Structure 1
Amino acid sequence: MNSGVIKKTFFILLLTFYITNISAQSSHVLWYNQPAEYFEESLVLGNGKMGATVFGGVNSDKIYLNDITLWSGEPVNANMNPEAYKNLPAIREALQNENYKLAEELNKKIQGKNSEKYAPLGTIEITSPNRGKATNYHRELDISKAVSKVTYEIDGVKFTREYFVSAPDQIMIIKLTSSQKGTLNFDINLSSLLKSNVEVKDNVLSLSGKAPLNEHVGYTVLPKYLEIKERGTRFTTLMKIKNTDGAIIASDKTLGVKNATEAVIYVSIATSFNGFDKNPATEGLNDKTIASKSLKKAFAKSFDKLKSSHVADYKKFYNRVHLDLGKTTAPDLATDERLLRYSEGKEDKNLEILYFNYGRYLLISSSRTKGVPANLQGLWNPHLSPPWSSNYTMNINVEENYWLAENTNLSEMHLPLLSFIKNLSVTGKITAKTFYGVDKGWAAGHNSDIWAMTNPVGQFGKEDPMWACWPMAGAWLSTHIWEHYIFTQDKDYLKNEGYQLMKGAAEFCMGWLVEDKNGNLITAPSTSPENQYKLADGFVGATMYGGTADLAMIRECFDKTIKAAKILNVDAEFVKKMEADLANLHPYQIGKKGNLQEWYFDWEDKDPKHRHQSQLFGLFPGDHITPLKTPDLAEASKKILEIKGDETTGWSKGWRINLWARLWDGNRAYKMYRELLRYVDPDGKKTEKPRRGGGTYPNLFDAHPPFQIDGNFGGAAAVAEMLVQSDENEIRLLPALPDAWESGSVKGICARGGFEIEMTWSNKMVMTLTISSKNGGKTSVIYGENKREIDLKKGEKKILQLWIKEKK
């Protein structure tokens, strides 16, 4: 072989290597060389109501089913502790006397029941008689289409399974094919951890049952089934097979196919849940009828028609945003291998994009049901007694789930949370009066559930006030209403629904505030979410007065409610009262370490590296602390983050990345983003050197640990925050761009004021910018030291010739 041929061959091999190992790498596909063994390796699908967790086994394929409306319990009795507020004077007296130990004990008297649990619906098991060795196994989830696929070969026959959960048709579809005629054989079993019944009738496999009442004490005890008629949420699952050849076989409890080439399984589910305030047993929906209608309607359609409708519906949301972070030299590996490689410090920009895209995928897939937002596990829960009941934890977690809704162009996915807030305001009015003695407005506490429970938790005095006694969820959640308005400019929503909810939250805050010895307004009693102080005499507690987090949330609540009222030109007198109270709030304090104090006094933390950083609420998700407007407070916030360090749980790391982005430190934010993507072994996996702690499981689920979805959402939101930041008056480009992302492009990121951004950058300099307006308006575009005033008409798009000048 002459040298020319050798060179040419080498070049072809090099080009093949480049194409295979670089360009083939995907920022939209998760894939694996083996089936999932653990939940944290599985691939999840959802249409915002129905969820499926796919393991992709060869001879036995397991699929967990969930319905986001299937919870234990029934409508809450908000008036459960009608005289709890009568304990407030004694608590406040103890605090005035600086008797914190007594205040801590008395604070337990202001507690109610714990939340209900999110329940697992059932498990599909598809078993095959094939016993040969599987080769060329491949399992994937294409998040650009919301379709999962499994392929493998046995004895020369290629088997394929394709899965999706359709929102337009409210159906799950599983298509099974074999490459050789008549070689497809399988049986389907249905089961549930809940009390249920399985039967086959007219070739329809059904699973029906009921969720329990959650009569237990604490998070970790399994629910007891109460044999009381007409209580609890009913559920129904129906499955039917459409085959092209072969025969459908059935027993009294199984359904299957024999000697076929192709078969499509249709799965419909429904529950009797009919709203937070309706008994699901006596006033519930007819779950059997709903499931049957969905099945019948979908069964009349072909697989191709169902799939194309599903993909088109999904893509109209997913395709709104496109992110590119420049060239990558990372090889094309299976996702778990990519994650392991990345955890060693290697470069993989497309994995960073994949994680961002996956966050958006998860929100589209888990948040499309009115009044029922994504919970601690989004939509996917296999446990009868899930971690923390998989409930709505409202001192950070449910809010973090929605940080990416507006800025990553998924406003519609925000609506389940906004409608849930409306539900909370109903029970919250009773909570405000009975637990806190406030006659106006509404309040909500640390935990909630599908029944919009708002009372402080703690099992009527049995739990620690550090997490149980916290009444500020209404103030925090009200800011989500403002965020939805300021991003969408939907004035009708603000006028007809949103503002009244904001006003109610503000009214409670006004009634809850008391004067301190200096005449400033504070909260008393107060706690800082799940954290504790340590006094000089060694006492460790949580109950105090004037907590920084409380006042930060009230500041943000008042500020946004004032702005909303002025936009609508209403409630002038109420606005004056809010402005007066806002001016009289106890001011932020900077401690001896240069830190933003968490407590009224400059006390020590029991755990200086505690995962919560609630006192920094004003920096993020709030916006009244900024490096420009309040440099001293921004510097004190930075000091807190330095004291706490970077090592923390998944959701907390997601929050800290956003905080560093707001401090315009892109490299620190990026460092923590890389750490968020640190490989974590599945919880049940036994290894010689297990990789545990906060990070990311093999299926890209966030590891708190255990799995909590908020870290996925917080991390995705932070990527957008690093690229674009905005308020009502300005848009700031590349405010926290890390060195690692020196070149790239983004399309579809949203900014406050109803604007949408498309830009490219190179060498950390903005090269092109297109800005469009949904409803018309003015804003200032800021890049580095440069500023441009923009005034756009509704629907107008403007291409700006920017100041190609490096930021200083």
Structure 2
Amino acid sequence: MLLLLQVICATQQAFCQKKMSLWYDEPAQYFEESLVLGNGKHGATVFGGVSSDKIYLNDATLWSGEPVAANMNPDAYKNIATIRAALAREDYQQAEELNRNVQGKFSQSYAPLGTMYLDFKHQAAYKNYKRELDISKAVATVDYEVDGVAYHREYFVSNPDQVMVVRLSSSKKGALNFELRFESLLTYATSKGKDMLRIEGYAPYHTEPSYRGNMPNAILFDEKRGMRFSTLASVKNKGGKVIISDSTIQVTKADEAIVYVSMATSFNGFDKNPVTDGADHKAIANKQLVSSIAKGYEKNYADHVNDYHFLFDRVNLDLNDNTTATLPTDERLRKYNEGVVDRNLEILYFQYGRYLLISSSRTLGVPANLQGIWNPYIRPPWSSNYTMNINVEENYWLAECANLSEMHKPFLTFIGNLSQTGKVTAKTFYGVHNGWAACHNSDIWAMTNPVGDFGKGEPVWACWNMGGAWAVTHLWDHYLYTREKKFLSDYAYPLMKGAAAFCLEWLITDKNGYLVTSPSTSPENKYLTPNGFKGATLYGATSDLAMIRECFMQTIKASEILEIDDSFRAQLKTALEKLYPYQIGGKGHLQEWYHDWEDPEPQHRHQSHLFGLYPGHHITPLKTKQLALACRKTLDIRGDETTGWSKGWRINLWARLHDGDRAYKLFRELLRYVEPDGLKVNYGGGGGTYPNLFDAHPPFQIDGNFGGAAGVIEMLMQSNDDKIHLLPALPGAWKDGTISGICARGGFEVSLRWKEGKLVDVKILSKAGEKCSLYYNGNVTTFSTKKEQSYHFDGALTRLDN
């Protein structure tokens, strides 16, 4: 009966659509059309071909390289004094050149594990094809018909069992014939094991970033160096035969076949050599495979779905759209670009962001990278690394507010790793002996040094060192949402203090008596001086000082809560008062530079100097009106045409300015259809969404998905200024709706209902028993709460459950 229903759905697609599904009527041809699955460690990219199904496999812990030698440039700090002297005499050109001396190695790259092929024996043409990803279950399916036989495939990657499972069946007995084989861009070998195909190999010990172009020795392998990996595949059949050779598994005349794939690497920590101190990847892969097979398919499936439901089902969004989607997802996206109203597509995009976070971020110490966990390239775009000047942080804007706090922990634990190498970076590159620093890029080895290959990189992107100050704001945010005081005292505060201590020692006094950073840059952007010099190195970049402000304010609050470090807290308070203040330029904009210089690229993708507005909290329309207006002017000058991740950031910035219609305009533009374009880079008029709803930077970068999804919540609810702001930036397009299960700082879970653009009611679940303040339409109500108790208010914030 189940198979019959699946066949009916394949032939009558218009009547079988699910609101939480992406579906297509053709196999994927490009990576950006594929269906992606993941359990937070292992990733699978399903193309769903008929004659041959291609599945890219990834493991979040499979990277090139080995533990970083943080002391790579021990005398780099000796250049700081001469750079500061050049800046003091306003010789920006010399400062720019000297800044190249404060550089180290590039990061390593996230590696593709390999590709699994399922080659079928179909000779005739297929019909009634449907390829679907149900994000409410994290299950993908493929259905089609050949010669009157209906074929069905089901794919999922289980977190409880740590395996990928593919179930294949047909409507006719004995109709399943296929061969499983494996290929990899890494060094590997295949062999026959007991009831399984074994694949074992290793990653390069060094990979050059792809943006360095074709160069000798870009990829270096050594059998005695580099991350090891094992992949095991086994097939359990009903009917027919299974024959395993040294390179394939052949299945003939089966009624049903279940493919189990187990993956593991030798990664054993950021500071452990993956060869000499590596984990036993062979034993791990074998244990995962044997135990999952012993459980059986039905239990595998049930455990996977239950585990996923526990996370995904926490949040529901309804925008009062009762229409049924009858078009494939890529066609819906095209129609949406033409102006068609499709609020269910907007909901799908929001929930897809949550799906991607659950699927890519469940491995402690290993955050989601630039592509989540899905990457087919041995030299992926920007090394698919952790870019610390926005991208890895944007990956996690969604975690707490979208009720996925557990998914935040891979990044939070990674920050502890950064602090270890960051202590060496602080001393050797910057001459700072207190605290720790992190710079532009990092990787699984927690690299913290400024990149650039010892002087070959442009300071505009290579020489930025505020990654630690930004990263620790996530630790504080996790505390604000969870109120886990032990987490704050035992883990978060020492790291926050270390980042603040670096900044405190790094600051110098300028000629006017203010504290500034020197040298500094504003991430990836350049200034134009009145005499025509275009550069990046200066003193007192607004973005540096904004991040330091946020870091200091949060560390001060944390020390007060914990009642410790009075002396250090006093130092931070004194420094905070002496920081060079924000400046409003001649155009009414928030200055990006110490001086009111021109921007040679006014529509630049970065807007780091607006950090205090978002993701920071010290600029708000209610408390700092003039600065908020200057941020608005800056955004107007920047414009709306930008890359995918940047558009995601601007959605949140406009929401913080309480301009829901402008935020929604950018949200619609974020869903602009982009044709699959491989590795084409577009920094200008780029930005949009690929057919499989991946964010188009272009190329694919997952941070746009996460930033865009976070922006949906930011339009509907914000929690800063110790208040929960209800519908602060509600777009006119979303006049009716409900959202439930989202989280607010203070340890609250919030559910809202609105009609005709006005709040109807709000329910608050208190998880920590803190005092709660609700703000809506100029009205504030404050009340005490009890832990795990709910509270209900109407649109006038009148209590309904007294």
With structure 2 as the length reference, what TM-score do the two structures score? 0.96
1:766 aligned onto 2:756: no
Residue 357 of structure 1: aligned partner: 351
CA distance in 1: counterparts of 2:335 and 2:493, whole angstroms: 49
Cα–Cα, structure 1 residues 300 and 653, in superposed 2: closer, same or farther, change >3 Å?
Answer: same
Residue 135 of structure 2: aligned partner: 143
Output the amino acid matched with 1:62. K
Tell me by how many angstroms 1:216 deviates: 3.9
Cα–Cα, structure 1 residues 425 and 795, in superposed 2: closer, same or farther, change >3 Å?
Answer: same
Report if the CA contact (8 A) 2:14-2:327 is conserved.
Answer: no
Alignment of 1:458-607 (within 5 A): 458-607=452-601
CA distance in 2: counterparts of 1:439 and 1:204, whole angstroms: 54
1:695 aligned onto 2:688: yes
Match of 2:70 among 75, 78, 85: 78
CA distance in 2: counterparts of 1:679 and 1:124, whole angstroms: 29
SS in 2 for 1:73: coil
Report if the CA contact (8 A) 1:479-1:556 is conserved.
Answer: yes
> Which whole-Å deviations, capped at 9, do the CAs of 1:493-517 have from their partners, x for residues lacking one?
0111010000000000000000001
Alignment of 1:334-413 (within 5 A): 334-413=328-407
CA distance in 2: counterparts of 1:296 and 1:24, whole angstroms: 36
SS in 2 for 1:646: coil
1:196 aligned onto 2:157: no
1:241 aligned onto 2:200: no
Match of 2:780 among 770, 779, 787: 787
Residue 95 of structure 1: aligned partner: 87
Match of 1:677 among 647, 671, 683: 671
Match of 2:308 among 307, 314, 323: 314
Report if the CA contact (8 A) 1:680-1:692 is conserved.
Answer: no
SS in 2 for 1:699: coil
Output the amino acid matched with 1:162. E
> Which whole-Å deviations, capped at 9, do the CAs of 1:212-253 have from their partners, x for residues lacking one?
011547644476554645311000100000011111022321
CA distance in 1: counterparts of 2:633 and 2:57, whole angstroms: 45
Tell me by how many angstroms 1:25 deviates: 5.2
CA distance in 2: counterparts of 1:126 and 1:30, whole angstroms: 22
Identity of aligned residues (%): 61
CA distance in 1: counterparts of 2:679 and 2:213, whole angstroms: 21
1:39 aligned onto 2:25: no
Tell me by how many angstroms 1:263 deviates: 0.5
CA distance in 1: counterparts of 2:650 and 2:208, whole angstroms: 35
Gaps of 5+ in 1: 1-19
SS in 2 for 1:425: helix
Residue 427 of structure 2: aligned partner: 433
Report if the CA contact (8 A) 2:641-2:686 is conserved.
Answer: no
Tell me by how many angstroms 1:692 deviates: 7.8
Report if the CA contact (8 A) 1:486-1:728 is conserved.
Answer: no
Cα–Cα, structure 1 residues 511 and 320, in superposed 2: closer, same or farther, change >3 Å?
Answer: same
Report if the CA contact (8 A) 1:203-1:255 is conserved.
Answer: no
SS in 1 for 2:257: strand
Alignment of 1:724-763 (within 5 A): 724-727=717-720, 729-763=722-756
CA distance in 2: counterparts of 1:804 and 1:765, whole angstroms: 12
Alignment of 1:153-192 (within 5 A): 153-192=145-184
Report if the CA contact (8 A) 2:641-2:685 is conserved.
Answer: no
Cα–Cα, structure 1 residues 473 and 725, in superposed 2: closer, same or farther, change >3 Å?
Answer: same
> Which whole-Å deviations, capped at 9, do the CAs of 1:651-672 have from their partners, x for residues lacking one?
0000000000000000000000
Residue 6 of structure 1: aligned partner: none
Alignment of 1:626-705 (within 5 A): 626-684=620-678, 693-705=686-698
Residue 319 of structure 2: aligned partner: 325
> Which whole-Å deviations, capped at 9, do the CAs of 1:30-63 have from their partners, x for residues lacking one?
0000000000000000001000000000010000
Match of 1:455 among 446, 449, 457: 449
> Which whole-Å deviations, capped at 9, do the CAs of 1:316-339 have from their partners, x for residues lacking one?
000000000113547421100000
Tell me by how many angstroms 1:409 deviates: 0.4
Tell me by how many angstroms 1:398 deviates: 0.2
Report if the CA contact (8 A) 1:767-1:804 is conserved.
Answer: no
Cα–Cα, structure 1 residues 636 and 549, in superposed 2: closer, same or farther, change >3 Å?
Answer: same
> Which whole-Å deviations, capped at 9, do the CAs of 1:605-663 have from their partners, x for residues lacking one?
11000000000000000010000110000000000100010010000000000000000
Output the amino acid matched with 2:87. L
- RMSD over aligned CA atoms reads 1.6
CA distance in 2: counterparts of 1:23 and 1:767, whole angstroms: 33
Tell me by how many angstroms 1:301 deviates: 1.6
Aligned residues: 782
> Which whole-Å deviations, capped at 9, do the CAs of 1:423-476 have from their partners, x for residues lacking one?
000000000011011100000000000000000000000110000000000000
CA distance in 2: counterparts of 1:236 and 1:666, whole angstroms: 49
Output the amino acid matched with 1:176. L
Output the amino acid matched with 2:705. N
Report if the CA contact (8 A) 2:208-2:379 is conserved.
Answer: no
Output the amino acid matched with 1:742. K
SS in 2 for 1:198: strand
SS in 2 for 1:243: strand
CA distance in 2: counterparts of 1:238 and 1:761, whole angstroms: 51
Report if the CA contact (8 A) 1:191-1:207 is conserved.
Answer: no
Report if the CA contact (8 A) 2:203-2:221 is conserved.
Answer: no
SS in 1 for 2:233: strand
Report if the CA contact (8 A) 1:329-1:347 is conserved.
Answer: no
1:109 aligned onto 2:130: no
SS in 2 for 1:527: coil
CA distance in 2: counterparts of 1:351 and 1:37, whole angstroms: 23
Tell me by how many angstroms 1:21 deviates: 10
CA distance in 2: counterparts of 1:303 and 1:25, whole angstroms: 26
Report if the CA contact (8 A) 1:191-1:198 is conserved.
Answer: no
CA distance in 1: counterparts of 2:568 and 2:192, whole angstroms: 62
Match of 1:776 among 751, 759, 769: 769
Tell me by how many angstroms 1:781 deviates: 0.3
Cα–Cα, structure 1 residues 778 and 382, in superposed 2: closer, same or farther, change >3 Å?
Answer: same
